[in-house]
Structure 1
């Protein structure tokens, strides 16, 4: 007799992955919110006084990686930050 393998472990893993908190970007995409995220990124870089990766900025500023990228985009457009060996630093 052939034993049938349980797929419950696979289903549980899939449920966990799909139930992770998703960020609603629709509510964030306005000039005011993006400007606040840019300020968070700028303050994190100023406090560190060195180049930081996106993950380090997110941890320091206590915001998501998506929010860091929004803020970096704003600051890049204004010429306030620059890329230095795959890290962001104040310009």
Structure 2
């Protein structure tokens, strides 16, 4: 029985020795991701509101936020800023199914 423990101990030591080498081989480089930053000022938000308005006018139907962002070719965050502007001006209506249409 003492011999079996010795073999098991050697097997464990062998696994530990191989583990760091395997870990290095699987390590990958992470690419730096640049986050797009939206300038939050009245001029920029006004332009985004115009983009949202034009997208809704072209669609001539109710759209959800993702659809508006895709049609206007802007981010969802910029879409929400523009929607807020247009809701405040009373130019939009919200439907029961979470879609937005021109008033």
Instruction: Work out whether 1:83 is the aligned partner of 2:98.
Output: no
Task: Indicate which of 46, 52, 73 corresponds to 2:63.
Answer: 52
Structure 2 unaligned spans of 5+: 1-13
Tell me how large the CA RMSD over aligned residues is: 1.8
How far is the alpha carbon of 1:22 from its aligned partner?
1.3
2:94 and 2:36 mapped to 1: Cα distance?
Answer: 26
Counterpart of 1:89 in 2: which secondary structure? strand
How far is the alpha carbon of 1:23 from its aligned partner?
2.1
Runs of 4+ in 1 over 6 A off after TM superposition: none
Structure 1 unaligned spans of 5+: none
Instruction: Work out whether 1:69 is the aligned partner of 2:88.
Output: no
TM-score (norm 1): 0.77
Aligned length: 83
RCO (CA 8 Å, sep 6+): is it higher in 1 or 2?
1
1:50 and 1:8 mapped to 2: Cα distance?
Answer: 49
Cα deviations by residue, 1:5-53 (Å, 9 ceiling, x for unpaired)? 74636xx5xx35x61x41223xx21111100000000000000000111
**Residue equivalent to 2:7:** none
Instruction: Work out whether 1:23 is the aligned partner of 2:42.
Output: no
